[in-house]
A and B are shown apart, each in its own frame.
Chain A
Amino acid sequence: MEQLTAGRTADVRIAGLTKTYAGAVTAMADVDLTIASGEFVAVVGASGCGKSTLLRILAGFEQPSSGAVEVGGTPVTGPGPDRGVVFQDYGLFPWLSVRENVAYGPARKKLPKAEVAAITERFITAVGLTRFAATYPAQLSGGMQQRVAIARVLANDPSLLLMDEPFGALDALTRSDLQAELKRIHVDTRTTVVFVTHSIEEAVFLADRVVVMTGGAAHGVPGHISRIVPVELADRDVTSPAFNEVKREIAELVHRVPTPV
């Protein structure tokens, strides 16, 4: 298959990251995480552990209270097209057609019109939505809207793909379809991925490493990384005993009650 993107990819370095909200609630403290170029990292944890906050800080939507966050050696200061974000609720522009949504990013880069059109068609084809290029997001199912959202950020050729529970609102069948598709896309693009999810199975199926976060305001402990589990399964068969062994290990970590300081 033809190379889907220019294959830009970046490493991520997070050191001593702390996020405190007004009112002195420390949502997250002392988070250190290094991600290699092209790696697929999933972040799991109970609600309120700070996994979405971590992703939003990487995206540049929120500023860290202290600590360093670098993507491709550059400190993150705000949102930018080098870091594509896929939201759980898609975030598509309802007044733009599928084609216009996908073309949005390339058009902002002031590329020649023909090139924007070529990129757009390539990614619409890649997510299998050629027949729906002229429709509007509201006319599509959730799974198809999320395909559009993925094509939209990939068309921007990001070096880091940030996904915030992207398949959380989809039914099980659509979900596993999209998981397989994402895996294929990751193989094609080798873009670094940070994938936040509630589903341990999804994390183990997709990721090279699973970051387990725990704590949060509800536990009286700031959110932090409790363990990073490498997934070394050659074959990601969700029914295999080896797969379930990894799942069990992570589930145990997720459900362990963090001890208050």
Chain B
Amino acid sequence: MTTATVPVAAAAPTVPAPPVRRRRGRLRTVLLGLPVPLLFLLLWHVGRENAWELPFGIRMGFLPYPADVARGLANYAIGTRDDAFSNLLWEDLPASALRVLSGFALATAVAVPLGVLMGRFVTANALFDPMINLFRPIPATAWVPLVALLIGYGDQASIFLITLSAFFPIVLGTISGARQVPERLLEAARMLGTSGVGTLLRVVLPAAAPAIVNGMRVGLGLSWVILVLSESTGVPTGLGSTIFLARDVVQTDQIVVGMICIAVAGFLSDRLLMLVFRVLFRDRPLIK
């Protein structure tokens, strides 16, 4: 059995690093993540102080100081000074989150079934593919004037724009996932007595799950991107509409505060989505 011992000996140096070294590796990653953001904050502060003129005609003199933004954030969250934005976060965030959630859920509810059908049936694909390719390149910004006329200003217009934006990545992800289902699994399901519709639910959906999840993550991210635009349609509360209000009263620190809040909300919602999927799938191995 000499052949068996040789590879073991040869493999020894590549054995996974011991826990201590791995922990040090993680610490290293965290530490390496700090310098660039800190430098950015420093340059921001210095640039503001000296009113730097940057390419694109960026006049840093008009920026708030990082510390002003921090104070603005505190005021937005817990009302440290008494102005129009004090404590507003807890009205804006739920309003915006509800819009994102409604639009995203609506997009998912339409895109996943449609994507499964388009991925599996040539007829369904032939029917809807031209339409999707026709509408997909139209940016949400281009929809805004038409939506303003057709729907008017308000929640419905806002949710419509989010739905529209989230729809395409989800449907495209689902189509590609549904197309890549191994034929063998469909045969196995059918010979075990699964009906046609049953095959879609029990084989195509789980086999396409990773691609669907990817599409949904992109869709959810886009929903937050479109949020500000969608709240430019004149809804009174929301992270986006507060940014527009801040612009109208020329309160730049509040504009940046709004941007930060949207970034954090977007990040957290992505984590939340992944958590939902983890609970849903537990540790089931999915097709990669």
Interface residues, chain A, CB within 8 Å of chain B?
A: 59-61, 78-81, 83-85, 87, 89, 91-96, 104-105, 108-109, 136, 138, 152-153, 156
B184 touches A91 (CB 8 A): yes
Cross-interface CB contact of B184 among A81, A89, A138, cutoff 8 Å? A89
Assembled-state Cα–Cα distance A85/B192 (Å): 8
- Identify the closest chain B residue to A94 (Cβ): B285
Question: Do A95 and B206 touch across chains, with their CB atoms under 8 A apart?
Answer: yes
Please state if B187 and A108 are interface contacts (CB–CB under 8 Å). no
Contact B193 A93 (CB under 8 A): no
Q: Does B203 contact A (CB under 8 A)?
A: yes
Would you call B191 and A79 a contact (CB within 8 A)? yes
For A84, give the chain B residue with the smallest CB separation.
B191
Q: Which residue of chain B lies nearest to A105 when distances are taken between CB atoms in the complex?
A: B192
Chain B positions 186 through 207: 1 when the CB is less than 8 Å from some CB of chain A, otherwise 0: 0111111110001000010011
* Complex alpha-carbon distance, A84 and B185, angstroms: 14
Report the separation of the CA atoms of residues A85 and B189 in the bound assembly, to the nearest whole angstrom.
Answer: 10
Task: Sample 12 A-B pairs with CB under 8 A, ordered by A number.
Answer: A59-B187, A60-B190, A80-B191, A81-B191, A83-B191, A85-B188, A91-B187, A92-B188, A94-B285, A95-B206, A105-B193, A108-B198
Q: Which of B187, B198, B286 contacts A79 (CB 8 A)?
A: B187
B287 within 8 A of A: yes
Contact B193 A81 (CB under 8 A): yes
- B28 part of interface (Cβ distance < 8 Å): no
Residue of B nearest to A61 (CB): B187
Q: Which residues of A contact B287 (CB under 8 A)?
A: 94-95
Cα distance A105–B192 in the bound complex, in angstroms: 5
Closest chain B residue to A81, Cβ basis: B193
In the complex, residue of chain B having the shortest beta-carbon distance to the beta carbon of A136: B285
Which single member of A59, A61, A93, A136 contacts B185 (CB below 8 Å)?
Answer: A93
Asked if B188 and A91 sit within 8 Å, CB to CB, the answer is yes
A104 x B284 contact (CB < 8 A): no
> What's the nearest-Cβ distance from chain A to residue B62, in Å?
54
Using known A-B contacts A94-B286, A95-B206, determine if residue A81 contacts B188 with beta carbons closer than 8 Å. no
A152 touching B192 by the CB < 8 A rule?
A: yes
Q: Please state if B192 and A153 are interface contacts (CB–CB under 8 Å).
A: yes
CA distance A108 to B284 in the complex (A): 21
- Chain B hits for A156, CB < 8 A: 192-193
> What residues of A have a CB within 8 angstroms of the CB of B206 in the complex?
93, 95
Give 4 nearest A-B pairs by CB, closest first: A81-B193, A91-B188, A79-B190, A105-B192
Chain B residues with CB below 8 A from A108, complex form:
192-194, 198
CA of A96 to CA of B192 in the docked complex: distance in angstroms? 14
Q: How far apart sit A136 and B206, CA to CA, in the bound complex (Å)?
A: 15
Q: With CB as the reference atom, state the residue of chain B lying closest to A82.
A: B193
A163 CB, min distance to chain B CBs, angstroms: 12
What's the nearest-Cβ distance from chain A to residue B202, in Å? 8
In B163-200, the 8 Å CB interface with A consists of: 184-185, 187-194, 198
Shortest A11–chain B CB gap in Å is: 19
In the complex the two chains form, is B192's CB within 8 Å of A81's CB?
yes
Q: Which of B192-249 contact A (CB under 8 A)?
A: 192-194, 198, 203, 206-207, 209
Could you say which of A59, A91, A95 contacts B286, with CB atoms under 8 Å apart? Answer: A95
A104 touches B285 (CB 8 A): no
A41 CA / B209 CA spacing, docked (Å): 40
Smallest beta-carbon distance B235→chain A, Å: 41
Bound-state CA distance A89–B190 (Å) is: 16
Residue pair A85, B193 in contact (C-beta under 8 Å) = no
Contact B188 A93 (CB under 8 A): yes
Knowing A81-B192, A84-B191, A105-B192, the reply to whether A93 touches B203 (Cβ < 8 A) is yes
A85 to B183, CA, bound (A): 14
Kindly report which residue of chain B lies nearest to residue A78, judged by CB atoms: B190
Q: How far is the CA of A78 from the CA of B191 in the complex (A)?
A: 9
Q: Are B284 and A136 in contact (CB under 8 A)?
A: yes
What is the CA–CA distance of A80 and B191 in the complex, to the nearest angstrom?
5
Q: How far is the CB of B17 from chain A (nearest CB, A)?
A: 24
- Contact yes or no, A59 B198, CB < 8 A: no
Task: Give the chain A neighbours of B286 by CB distance below 8 A.
Answer: 94-95
Determine the residue in chain A with the shortest Cβ distance to B283: A136
A81 CA to B206 CA, complexed, in Å: 22
Kindly list 10 other residue pairs between chains A and B, CB separation below 8 angstroms, not including A95-B284, A105-B192, A109-B193. Answer: A59-B191, A61-B191, A81-B193, A84-B191, A87-B188, A91-B188, A93-B189, A94-B286, A94-B287, A95-B281
